[in-house]
Structure 1
Amino acid sequence: MGSLPPSSMDAEEKPASAAAAAAATMPSTDAQKQLDAGALFVLKSKGSWLHCGYHLTTSIVAPALLSLPFAFASLGWGPGLLCLITGAVVTFYSYTLLSLVLEHHAQLGRRQLRFRDMAHDTLGPGWARYYIGPIQFSVCFGAVVGQALLGGQSMKSIYLMARPDGTMKLYEFVIIFGVFLLILAQIPSFHSLRHINLISLVLCLAYSACATAGSIHAGHSANAPQRDYSLVGDSKDRIFGVFNAIAIIATTFGNGIIPEIQATAAPPVTGKMFKGLCLCYTVVVVTFFSVAISGYWAFGKQAEGSITYNFILEDGSILVPKWFLTMTNVFILLQLAAVGVVYLQPTNEVLEGLFADPTKDQYSARNVVPRLIFRSLSIVVATLLAAMLPFFGDLNAVIGAFGFLPLDFAVPSIVYNITFKPTKRGLKFWLNTVIAVVFSIVAVLASVSAVRQVIVDAKTYKLFADHT
């Protein structure tokens, strides 16, 4: 987890054989940097700003956005909209800061290809090895688990609409979806996902439009539940609910792999990530706000963990046409696979660094066999965890509180201030400092709230339970 990145932008462009030849004439430490298999094989720097935009959109605009009305149910209209706007503004600003730090080091001749590389150079090796690296790995692999679970839930929803008396269990669908993920996990590099992530961008627009249209249709339906926007629970439950909702929103905006995405851009990298962020956040504004507002308007405090669950009433009747709900779930299902594979890339990079031989060709038997084995094992573990722990809402909040809040809200401001040392008399220094302090506090409080919610709900959960 603490290996160093290539010392120049040329490293990721060299074939493995060229890197091996160059290694023979350089010091051993430089050779190790040049021969980093994770950088050579997974983080290939060949993409354009459009490709960065596709990767960013897939990593942020994911089916977790369908939980935004549920978060609003704990916040209400005013605070909900405020938190959503704050999340959009702060994350766009924070991701831009990270991009500028990465560009700065690239211009100095030391391109940082991974989050832990940047942390190593700015915060120190201890922070990179014992905090940033483990936190990033945990949230990214946790996201893979979440996508596997949501994929199983979407498949089961489609199945039950076709066969209401069907007997297949949720964990069976999770396993089926896991097999699909296992196949996609063998795609060799992050850059190779660019076409899949373009399709993913279209899919997220499609199911967000369906969720919005479905909510509006359901809200005007004669069978729709009576809308109630009041907050439930006593004062203590409401306070914990607020921080739990903040954690959900943070997870929805979460990324955690900005350096890895920027690493896919071909040099020179200046300006490419900002253009990609502009493309991504255009999609973010269109999808997040339409789904959050329409879903909460239609169902109020009854909004469920995914707004599509509200389209089916307790008596089995459906508030939207069955074909429409099936189509929406298919769009969700397909994008979930792309999201899962994107968040698998940090794991793939670590596995390549540990088990691949950079002196051999990427597609040689020496490298293909361990890649197939260890990537498959990582998907098997993620699928097993998803099947065992079928409660995505709580998992979503825990991931956001422990990982995405620090990585995406607090750390970017800190590394920017350390790298560029803005004057303490200027606005930028204090803005960054306030963001880092405030969101560090929010991360701690949200973590407590998320863990409490898991403990409260644990009594209703069983391993391999069959519920959505």
Structure 2
Amino acid sequence: MNMEYLKLPSSSNGDILHQSGIGEGEEINDDYNGGDNDRQNVEADGDGGAAFVLVSKGTWWHAGFHLTTAIVGPSILTLPYAFSCMGWTLGLVSLSVAAAVSFYSYNLMSKVLDNCEKNGRRHIRFRELASDILGSGWMFYLVVSVQTTINMGVSIGSILLGAECLQVMYSDLDPDGNLNLHHFIIMVAVVMILLSQLPSFHSLRYINSASLFLSLGYSFCVVIACIIAGYSSEAQSKDYSPTGSKIIRIFSGFKAVSMMGTAFGNGILPEIQATLAPPLTGKMLKGLCMCYGVIMATYYSVAVSGYWAFGNNVRDNILENLMPDDEGIALVPVWLLSMAVIFILLQLFAVTLVYCQVAYEILEKNSADVSMGVFSLRNLLPRLFLRSMYIIICAFIAAMLPFFGDINALVGAMGFIPLDFILPMLLYNISFRPDRASMIFVVNSLIMIIFTGVGIMGTISSVRQIVVDAKLFKLFSTTVIS
């Protein structure tokens, strides 16, 4: 395949502004009231996804909110388990490498998008960016498939985990109650259907700002709870030595790397950058710095405190170790756990909304009529139907396949690692064509080779673990199977 791409004729400044959703000479504001030029361009293009979902009006801190919600989610609750698969040294090194490489990767991706914009091609979708630079139509469909897998996987997992949070609170209030997991999945889905009617990614900025503080809140609650549990007289003895045969430890290690990939995964950075008002230069880097400031404050503290408190006995969701046992004995105050569960539940709504945006953009690309208002009946009814059906499908799959930990690792290996740890380096090398002897080319190539191997081994390890745990799985189980 010819890896070079042809430089397309540069668009006019008005075309670039049109693609961003802002008319030439138009003042950026929070209302969807484009100028006459913007309205005419949108009508001519007919792209409902760009016109209504990926509206470009945001600032760098809005991008920071979106990035933090997309990356810093309840998947960090799996990090102590990932440490148990690796041990202290390898766990800390792997977490640090994943943090450094993901930040580097996202920054490269942003530079590629900036470079395309300077050449008259502002891309607002990951799939179009990859297809343009790699010069292959099949890449368009590959990225769509991987993105869809990620987005549906995260949405399903978030709905499932949100329902589990409700089930935990309900069981504490009414241990003999008749409601089960399926009822709570329906409750979460109903709330999600209502929230999904917010028309654009940009309209989530206030929800995602709250999500940032919620992630800090439940992370600190978990850290405090782990410290209390670790010092409790009822705590089990801690063992940090490797367990199992050498081959099992190897598979477990690659599964742990896949879980870390999920924890740092994004997969929608071009769509997030599309919400920024032009010019873009420097804005995403500021947003990334905000996001990774939150990551530094949460990931290490949760991973280290959870593994320290429970050692090799840590579960794939640290909350399961902190919950009262079958005899009702709790290692930590119930109110502290309740606060953490409430914060997690609320943030899950924001996480699900963010990862649904790509699906909504795809659905509305051709179903919306851009000549009509975003809240016109012509656009409101299709949006209500299509988005509701998408949430209903995700909720149905969550009820049918209530397996959290193993699926979490598989999504990381097959989705987040290729899109976030491999493809950005490839796109950068092709776009900027650095000298093959240069440091950046060598580093990018090494990262691609290493993470391709990690992704393959992580996929094999995750599938193997699903096969091993298959005897525990039960379709339409009334409890989440860990």
C-alpha distance in 1 between matches for 2:280 and 2:372: 28
1:13 aligns with 2:22: yes
2:468 alignment counterpart: 456
Shift of 1:255: 0.3
1:356 aligns with 2:375: no
Aligned mate of 1:131, from 130, 134, 142: 142
1:376 aligns with 2:388: yes
2:327 alignment counterpart: 315
Q: Which residues in structure 2 correspond to 1:101-180 (within 5 Å)?
A: 101-180=112-191
1:333 alignment counterpart: 345
Identity of aligned residues (%): 46
Shift of 1:226: 1.2
Could you report, residue by residue, the CA deviation over 1:187-229 in whole angstroms, capped at 9, with x for unpaired residues?
1000000000000000000000000000000000111111111
1:72 aligns with 2:91: no
Distance 1:349 1:16, change over 3 A: farther
Shift of 1:295: 0.2
Taking structure 2 as the reference length, the TM-score comes to 0.92
2:457 alignment counterpart: 445
Shift of 1:318: 1.2
Could you report, residue by residue, the CA deviation over 1:218-251 in whole angstroms, capped at 9, with x for unpaired residues?
0001111111112222222211111111110100
Residue type at the aligned position of 2:396: L
1:202 aligns with 2:200: no
C-alpha distance in 2 between matches for 1:73 and 1:167: 36
1:28 alignment counterpart: none
Taking structure 1 as the reference length, the TM-score comes to 0.95
2:92 alignment counterpart: 81
C-alpha distance in 2 between matches for 1:183 and 1:130: 30
Shift of 1:23: 7.5
Distance 1:7 1:419, change over 3 A: farther
Aligned mate of 1:227, from 238, 252, 260: 238
Shift of 1:17: 6.8
Please tell me whether the aligned partners of residues 128 and 140 of structure 2 are also in contact (alpha carbons under 8 angstroms): no
2:69 alignment counterpart: 58
Distance 1:350 1:437, change over 3 A: same
Please tell me whether the aligned partners of residues 102 and 420 of structure 2 are also in contact (alpha carbons under 8 angstroms): yes
Please tell me whether the aligned partners of residues 47 and 366 of structure 2 are also in contact (alpha carbons under 8 angstroms): no
Which SS does the other structure have where 1:265 is aligned? coil
Residue type at the aligned position of 1:13: I
2:30 alignment counterpart: none
Shift of 1:7: 5.3
Please tell me whether the aligned partners of residues 78 and 318 of structure 2 are also in contact (alpha carbons under 8 angstroms): yes
1:100 alignment counterpart: 111
C-alpha distance in 2 between matches for 1:461 and 1:265: 43
Please tell me whether the aligned partners of residues 16 and 358 of structure 1 are also in contact (alpha carbons under 8 angstroms): no
C-alpha distance in 2 between matches for 1:20 and 1:273: 27
C-alpha distance in 1 between matches for 2:386 and 2:37: 26
2:336 alignment counterpart: 324
2:417 alignment counterpart: 405
2:4 alignment counterpart: none
Distance 1:22 1:396, change over 3 A: closer
C-alpha distance in 2 between matches for 1:142 and 1:186: 21
C-alpha distance in 1 between matches for 2:333 and 2:121: 55
Shift of 1:315: 2.8
Aligned pairs, number: 457
Gaps of 5+ in 2: 1-7, 24-33
Range moving further from structure 2, 4-13 or 240-249: 4-13
Please tell me whether the aligned partners of residues 181 and 479 of structure 2 are also in contact (alpha carbons under 8 angstroms): yes
Please tell me whether the aligned partners of residues 16 and 40 of structure 1 are also in contact (alpha carbons under 8 angstroms): no
1:344 alignment counterpart: 356
1:287 alignment counterpart: 298
Range moving further from structure 2, 160-169 or 189-198: 160-169
Could you report, residue by residue, the CA deviation over 1:63-93 in whole angstroms, capped at 9, with x for unpaired residues?
1101100111111111111110011000000
Distance 1:86 1:125, change over 3 A: same
Gaps of 5+ in 1: 25-30
